[in-house]
Each structure stands twice: as C-alpha cells, then as structure tokens.
Amino acid sequence: MLLGAKSRTVDDNGRLIVPSKFREDLGDEAIISVGLNERCLFLFSVAEWEKFDEKVRTLPITKKDAQGFVRWFLSSASHVQLDQQGRLLIPQVLREWAGIERDVVIVGVSSRLEIWDKVKWEAFYKEAEYKYKEISEDLTSTGF
C-alpha cells in the first residue's frame, strides 16, 4: 500500500528519483498518466494499472463522453522504467501538463502515487486541511 508524502526534485533531464519506500510496491516498471480532477500525475504499478484498465474497459463504447474520456486519459499514459538508482523519466508533455519544473511532492494514495508540483500540492493541502473536519463529518453521515 502506498502511503505518505515525500518531497523530491526533478533533474534537468526530467528524471525523478522515486523514494525507496515506494519502489518496493511500484516495481521496476510503472505507468504514468495525467491525474484526474487536479493537475497532478498518476503513477501506477503495472498490476494496479491492469485493475484500472479492467474498469476502463467496462465503459460503454456507445457513449460519446465515455469514449472521449478513455481517449484523452489513455493517450496520456506511458510505460516508464525505473533505473538502478530508482529514477524514472517523466515525459515532457506530462511535466508541462502538470506544471512540473523542479520541486515536486510524491504522494502515496493507497493504490497509486501522485506527483505534484510542490507549490500546487501545498495549496491543495492547505485547502484540504481547512475543509477536513467538514468533509469527514459528511463522510461519517454516509456510513464511512
């Protein structure tokens, strides 16, 4: 299970060292894609990507919006290899989409990692912290 947050730096070549505590769950190969709802990147182990892909395959091909989502999301996805130092190359198009230049935060969110521009992560976290009590009360009322 991927948990916690670690600050890192993307080098001039677009490479990122994945923290060792995440590499064990991730493996030597992963899938990177745009994130959903926020301008971050998703990083899945191959096994978790396969689970996600099974869900994607259930979306109806007769629904224009569903297929538009599938095309947009899957066209951004790429296989990445982690080298012996635990580095992966973030494709330039994904770095640009997420606004990642140098400082990032890698966040473990159970089944995947999210890679955030550090400034964007800090803004998100501050807002989420402010809303945490209200959100947790809403979740409690749903039986969570």
Read off the pLDDT of residues 104-139 as tens digits, 9 standing for 90 and up. 999 999 999 999 999 999 999 988 887 777 777 776
pLDDT band (50, 70, 90) for residue 81: very high
One-letter amino acid of 100: I
pLDDT digits 0-9 by tens, 19-55:
999 999 999 999 999 998 899 999 999 999 999 999 9
Domain of 65 in residue numbering reads as: 2-118
Q: Is 123 among the domain residues? A: no
Q: Is 130 among the domain residues? A: no
Q: Is 134 among the domain residues? A: no
The model carries a pTM of 0.90
Q: Is 96 among the domain residues? A: yes
Give the Cα separation of 141 and 77 in Å (integer): 36
pLDDT at 140 over 90: no
Q: Is 38 among the domain residues? A: yes
Give me the number of domains the chain comprises: 1
CATH number at residue 108: 3.40.1550.20
**Torsion-angle region of residue 10: left (phi > 0), alpha (psi -120 to 50) or beta?**
beta
Q: Is 89 among the domain residues? A: yes
